[in-house]
Amino acid sequence: MKINIGYLEGTDPLILSRCAALGINTIPLSNGWDNHGKYIGLLSKTDNVSLVIAYLHKLIAPPEMETKPGDFLNACKIHRIPVLVICHEKMIAQAKKKLSGVKAKLYWVTPATFFDTVMKILKMK
C-alpha cells in the first residue's frame, strides 16, 4: 500500500521531493484559512494519511478566526494520524504550551531533524 503524508503550506519542498522520490505520496492540506489543499479537519480513513507535517505557525490561527488548533486537528486525533510540528529548537518549550490543548499525537522536531524523524515515524529507515 502506498504511504501518504499530508503537509501544510510552507513545508520544505526539498524534503517533500525526497519523500516523493522514495515513493511517498505528498498531499497538500489546509488549516482552514490558507486554502492550500484539503481541509485538515476533514481527513478520514479513506485518505490513508500516515502523517501530517506542519510548521508551528500554520497550526495557530489568527485571533479573528476564532478557531483553536485542537478544533481542526481533531480529525488527526480521531484517526490516529500523528502530527509532526517543526519549530526552532529554542522555541519548542513555548510552542508546546501554545498547542497544549491539542489531543492528537504531536512530534516536535527542528528543521535539522525533520527528514530523519519523518522516516523514523514511517519506519522507513
pLDDT tens by residue, the chain, 125 residues:
689 999 999 999 999 999 999 999 999 999 998 889 999 999 999 999 999 999 999 999 888 888 888 888 999 999 999 999 999 999 999 999 999 999 999 999 999 999 999 999 998 64
Three-state DSSP class for residue 59: helix
Q: Domain map of the chain by residue range?
A: 3-121
62, burial (CB in 10 Å: exposed 0-12, middle 13-18, buried 19+): exposed
Question: Under a CB-based contact definition with an 8 Å cutoff, are residues 72 and 41 in contact?
Answer: yes
Q: Residues 80, 102, 73, 87: is their CA dihedral positive or negative?
A: negative
Q: What is the CATH number of domain 3-121?
A: 3.40.50
Q: How many CA atoms lie within 13 A of 57 on its CB side?
A: 5
Q: What is the pTM of this model?
A: 0.92
Q: What is the DSSP string of 3-46?
A: EEEEEETT--HHHHHHHHHTTEEEEEEE-SSS--SEEGGG--GG
81 grid coordinates: 494520524
